[in-house]
């Protein structure tokens, strides 16, 4: 299959997934409605399934639309609408994310806040009562919902999202990803400076654990579209540098490049 065909299938899969999420359907529910297998639908949504006209017609009917509507504009690349910030706690995702969102005239979203809203529990209780596997399930659902929303968004992700291959692949596909790098000591000082004592309570080797965790995740974070050293740049310069990198890719409301000043400036 040539590159142009791959692009059509990618775009078609994105339209189908967005329509499904808009309707609040799971893949299983859509499979039942369309009489197609869950595995095949998953392949179609990720651009790996070469769907026939008959199956596309059945799928469109299950989604309450038409095959022609799903195929409309699939040859036009979608403008990036999401910037996703990656990194361990203390990388500056929230601080830089809020400032960047103001400059880009975008909404700022904390993915963990969406996880808490979906589960009805604070993060600490999610892990204590249900464990990490449940958290990852809810995180994946929250991520799909955020990526399916309209309008420009800047998203601060959880530090461990890169350890979930499916969620991380989905994030890299649907967003411009940015790794906010920082020295281990800066991660530590920022978290503790915010009043969070969890990294050091009853953990005499906490700094060594942090260094090991960062070393383990660095190859995953390095797969992001961009990276910024927040220890070297600081917050204001990091926001400016990131905005410069996004000028050619970002499409804010009303067209044109993101503003450098005025009411939307950080």
pLDDT digit string, tens, across residues 146-201: 998 888 899 999 989 999 999 999 999 889 999 998 777 776 676 666 655 454 45
pLDDT at 130 over 50: yes
Indicate the residue among 71, 99, 124 that finishes a domain.
Answer: 71
Indicate the residue among 71, 97, 112 that finishes a domain.
Answer: 71
Per DSSP, 262 falls in state: G
Secondary structure class of 123 (helix, strand, coil): helix
pLDDT at 1 over 50: no
Residue 76 is assigned to a structural domain of this protein: no
130, 210: one domain: yes
C-alpha closest to that of 113 among 94, 91, 133, 92: 94
41, 137: one domain: no
Residue 77 is assigned to a structural domain of this protein: no
Residue 17 is assigned to a structural domain of this protein: yes
209, 237: one domain: yes
User: Which two structure tokens, joined as six digits, stand for 68?
Assistant: 């022609």
Q: Angle 235-239-243 (CA atoms, 0-180°, nearest 5)?
A: 170
C-alpha closest to that of 55 among 28, 33, 77, 74: 33
218, 125: one domain: yes
Indicate the residue among 71, 103, 130 that finishes a domain.
Answer: 71
179, 252: one domain: yes
Residue 203 is assigned to a structural domain of this protein: yes
pLDDT at residue 252, as a whole number: 44
Cα within 13 Å of Cα(105), Cβ side: 16
257, 197: one domain: yes
Instruction: Locate all alpha helices (DSSP H) within 46-148, ordered by sequence.
Output: 53-62, 67-71, 93-104, 111-119, 123-148
pLDDT at residue 4, as a whole number: 55
Neighbouring CB atoms inside 10 A of 186's CB total 17
Question: Which CATH number characterizes residue 13's domain?
Answer: 1.10.260.40
Q: pLDDT tens digit string along 57-111?
A: 999 999 988 888 888 766 655 545 899 999 988 888 999 999 999 988 889 999 9
Asked if residues 98 and 153 have their Cβ atoms less than 8 Å apart, the reply is no
Question: Which CATH number characterizes residue 177's domain?
Answer: 3.40.50.300
66, 113: one domain: no
94, 210: one domain: yes
Range of the domain at 123: 82-264
29, 97: one domain: no
- Supply the pTM of this predicted model: 0.64
- How many structural domains are present in the chain? 2
Residue 32 is assigned to a structural domain of this protein: yes
């Amino acid at each position: 299959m040539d590159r142009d065909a791959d692009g059509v299938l990618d775009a078609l899969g994105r339209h189908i997934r967005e329509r499904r999420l808009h309707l609040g359907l799971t893949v299983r529910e859509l499979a039942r409605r369309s009489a197609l297998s869950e595995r095949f639908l998953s392949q179609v949504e990720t651009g790996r399934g070469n769907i026939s006209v008959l199956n596309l017609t059945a799928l469109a009917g299950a989604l309450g639309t038409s095959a022609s509507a799903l195929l409309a504009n699939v040859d036009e690349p979608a403008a990036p609408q999401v910037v996703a910030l990656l990194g361990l706690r203390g990388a500056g995702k929230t601080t830089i994310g809020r400032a960047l969102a103001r400059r880009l005239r975008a909404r700022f979203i904390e993915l963990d806040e969406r996880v808490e809203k979906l589960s009805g529990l604070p993060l600490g209780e999610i892990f204590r009562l249900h464990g990490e596997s449940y958290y990852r399930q809810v995180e994946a659902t929250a991520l799909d919902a955020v990526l399916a929303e309209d309008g420009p968004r800047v998203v601060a992700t959880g530090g461990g999202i890169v350890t979930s291959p499916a969620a991380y692949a989905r994030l890299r596909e649907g967003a411009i990803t940015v790794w906010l790098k920082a020295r281990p000591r800066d991660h530590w000082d920022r978290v503790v400076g915010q009043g969070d004592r969890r990294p050091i309570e009853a953990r005499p080797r906490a700094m060594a654990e942090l260094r090991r965790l960062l070393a383990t995740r660095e190859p995953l974070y390095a797969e992001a579209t961009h990276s910024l050293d927040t220890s070297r740049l600081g917050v204001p310069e990091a926001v400016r540098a990131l905005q410069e990198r996004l000028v050619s890719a970002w499409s804010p409301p009303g067209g044109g490049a993101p503003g450098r000043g005025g009411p939307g400036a950080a």
